[in-house]
Amino acid sequence: MAKNIVLASSSPRRRELLENIGLTFTVDTSEIHEAQPAGLKPAELARTLSLHKARAAALRHANSIIIAADTIGVLGGKILGKPFDALHARKMLAEMSGRCHRVITGFTVVDSSSGRAVSRSVETKVFFRKLSRAEISRYVNTGEPLDKAGAYAIQGLGALLVERIEGDYNNVIGLPLFALATVLKGFGVTLPV
């Protein structure tokens, strides 16, 4: 009997990415307290948070493959979370203007039957062009950056801020599909390609 696949995330972007590769799954938002354990490097932090989310969902889904992820941005060693408000979004975007930041997604796949878990992280470098104050204000006024880690959405208007990337584009959206597909195949999940 094939196992159910469960995405432990409320992210519409992650849902869309999995739908785009033809995966059949259900969604179960895994509510965990995302306190950042002290002393972890960003990639380790992202993997740890994804593992907690996946294990929490695995407790609710027997005979299932659970997928969970956590994406963070890092600028000069500082973690870029979601902005608190429009003013904070403007400040974050001004700091990223003309600079490179890293987007790290940690993801975990858990087989709820066996308890087997595999966690990986993928890093993509994102290079912002130099932004004027007016451009930053216009972008923030669209509302798009207010609920996004790093205060932008590369798949939306935020694409106009990005000069180039090095690495997996889907990782910046929130799920590195190539790396995830490799792990899923190791769990016996059949993909269309």
Distance CA 38, CA 140 (A): 31
Distance CA 97, CA 29 (A): 33
Beta-bridge mates of residue 74: 79, 102
Is-catalytic flag, 28? Answer: no
Catalytic residue among 70, 85, 147, 168: 70
CA 55 to chain centre: 17
Question: Amino acid identity, residue 17?
Answer: L
The answer to whether the beta carbons of residues 100 and 136 sit under 8 Å apart is no
Distance CA 27, CA 47 (A): 20
Catalytic residues: 70
